[in-house]
Structure formats: structure tokens, C-alpha cells
Amino acid sequence: MAEIGKDIDFAKSLLNAGEIVGLPTETVYGLAGNALDEEAILKIYSAKNRPKFDPLIAHTDSIEKVETLVCEFPEKARQLALAFWPGPLTLLLSKSDKIPDLLTSGLSRVAIRIPDHPMTLELLSKLDFPLAAPSANPFGFVSPTKASHVQDQLGEKISYILNGGKCRVGLESTIVGFEDDEVVIHRLGGLGIEEIERVVGKVKMKLNKSSNPDAPGMLKSHYSPGVPLIIGNIREELRNVGSKKIGVISFGEVFHDAHVMEVLSPTRDIQQAAKNLFGALRVMKDENVDIILTEKFPEEGIGRAINDRLERAAAR
Ligand code: TXA
Ligand code: MG
């Protein structure tokens, strides 16, 4: 089992020694290692059971440091970085030679972001390298939003998890690339499209739902809760599913016929719903329900990212 604690200097010493650690960000917990060290990167791929065609995000704590890792910083990328970093935004920028090909799976662009969590920002400020950090879950599973989630799934494979409490956003970062003068969204996430468009104008969507060469990790069947999941009218579905052990994940309403009930936000606050989504999917799995019923969330802001994750969880 991994040790769980708040010792930033201990995490730093492990990372300096080429080890990997679990750490908090505002979106989800990451499994971090030195992004410039191929050995450390290999440890991450191996602990996650992640195929090497699925590249990792580099994390750092200042735009000045980002500039040393990329060879171009388009104007619109800079505007977004200034507006939303630290925050749930990942930029795809053409990589400098410092970045190992293993980190980007041989792609010419590196995914990079400044996360918004005080402990991880302090840790990054004390390191002289960026951290590679995919979500700290085995490949294909739901991302962790608490230190105990990391412990449950990867505790045997790492020695330390930095405990930063429950993640504030609860969904992964929004991934944005730049083609000619266009801003392209590759993954919906914690930062809403509307907010991005307020800064750079209309964006283009490139959210391939099957296998996406631009963001290879966004396979349709990602985020598996390991249980069949139906998105629809919960009340009607409850009548249809028969005598199974039924789990319901709703936005705000309580359904008394459910055997396991998770209300994401009693006040129907979409940010709160996002924050609670992955935890609720884990509860359903832990409670061994036969089926999960859920509903479509409002298709705006972070609601789009919630719907995206639910659709992927439903595809098996
Ligand atoms: O919020 C987040 O982004 C979290 C926290 C820990 O920062 N990280 C995260 O990492 O979600 P991960 O590895 O679970 O998802 C990263 C996604 C994958 O779909 C991957 O394919 C894509 O980013 N990606 C990484 N590098 C890329 C690149 N160079 N070009 C295109 N897509 C890339
Ligand atoms: Mg992930």
C-alpha cells in the first residue's frame, strides 16, 4: 500500500530520485514523474497499464517554464494561457527537443498545462523539471478525485500519494490545439467552451468518439465503471429494468426505487455535479449494482463534459 500524506518535500525527493507519486490537481489526481526522464515516463505507462501510443500531459508552474519546453506559442494559445492558467486547460504546442518522444508518443506536439492546486504548484516550483501526469487510474477506468481512489487502484504500484483533498473541478482538463489560425477542442473538460470562446472567438470541435489520432487517449469506451450504464429518462427506465440491483445517478432528484442512489447536486448546481460524478460512478461499482441509470445533463459549460464522460462510460 502507498503512504498517503501532505509532505511536499518527501514527494519532491521521490520525484528527484526518478520515482512516481500520486498527486492532487484541481481536475483529478495525477500519477506523476519527471517528464524529461524516459525511465520515469516508462514507470508511469507501466503502473497505469497504458499503451505507449497514448501520450502524457506535462505539468509545470509558470508560463516562462512552458516557453522553455515548446518551440512555438501561438498568440491565441498565449491569450488562453493568460486567461485560464493555473486551471483546467491543456494546450497542445509544438514541442522542443527537451521533451522526450516517449512523452508525446512520437507526436510533434506536447500537451502541457499549469494545474491549479496549491500543493502541486508548490511542488512544481521546487522541481527543476516538469511533471508528466496522466490521471492516476488504470487505463480505461474512471479518474480519481480523492487520494483514497488512487490508493484503491494504484496503491500497490507506488509508494507515496500527496493528499490534497477532494478535487475542486472533478473532471479532466479541456484539451485545446491550434491549426493555422483556428482553435480546436480535442477533449471537453473542466473549462467550458463558452469561456474559451469569450477569449478567442469561435472554436472548432474535433472530438472523435472512436479512435482519435489527435488525442489517442479519447477512445470511445474510456471511463468504464465496469457496469452497464443507461442514459435516459430515469423514471421510465426504472420501470423497464426489472428485478436487478439498480443504481441511479441523478442531477438533483431522489428516486426511491433505486437500490443505490447518488444525487450529484441537490441544488442542481452543474459545477457541483461535475465534482461528484466520478465518485458516484465508483460508489456504483463498489456497491456491485447490476446497472446504472442516469440522465442527460444540461448541454452547456461543464455539463457538456459530464455528458461526454457519461457517453463514454455507457459505451462498452
Ligand atoms: O486534468 C487533466 O488533464 C489530468 C490531470 C492529472 O492533469 N490529466 C489527464 O491525463 O487527464 P490523461 O493522460 O488521463 O489524459 C490526457 C489526454 C489523453 O487523452 C491523451 O491522448 C491526450 O491527453 N494527449 C496527451 N498528449 C497529447 C498530445 N501530444 N497530442 C494529443 N493528445 C495528447
Ligand atoms: Mg485519463
Q: Closest Cα to residue 67, out of 102, 97, 96?
A: 96
Domain boundary among 145, 173, 205: 205
What pLDDT, in 10s, does the model give residues 283-296? 999 999 999 999 99
How many Cβ atoms from other residues are within 10 Å of residue 268's Cβ?
A: 15
Is any ligand 1 atom within 6 A of the Cβ of residue 92? yes
Looking at all shown ligands, the one closest to residue 218's CA atom is 1
Structural domain of 288: 229-314
**What is the average pLDDT across 46-70?**
97
- 278 and 246, same structural domain? yes
Which residues are registered as beta bridge partners of 34? 131
Report the nearest-CA residue for atom 21 of ligand 1. Answer: 217
The string of pLDDT tens digits covering residues 182-235 is 999 999 999 999 999 999 999 999 986 654 445 555 566 667 788 999 999 999
Q: Within this chain, do residues 244 and 195 fall inside the same structural domain, yes or no?
A: no
Q: Which of 39-53, 217-231, 237-251, 261-275 has the lowest mean pLDDT?
A: 217-231
Domain edge (last residue) among 155, 170, 205: 205
- Res 163 pLDDT > 80: yes
**98 φ, ψ (degrees, to nearest 5):** -65, -30
Number of the ligand closest to the Cα of 134: 1
In the chain, how many domains are there?
2
CATH number at residue 65: 3.90.870.10
Residues 52 and 197 both lie in one domain: yes
Mean of pLDDT values over 82-99? 98
233 and 196 in one domain?
A: no
Q: Note the pTM of the prediction, 2 decimals.
A: 0.96
Same domain, 17 and 117: yes
Do 40 and 158 fall within a single domain? Answer: yes
Q: Tell me if 57 CB under 6 Å of ligand 1.
A: yes
Does the Cβ of 87 fall within 6 Å of ligand 1? Answer: no
Q: Closest residue (by CA) to atom 17 of ligand 1?
A: 217
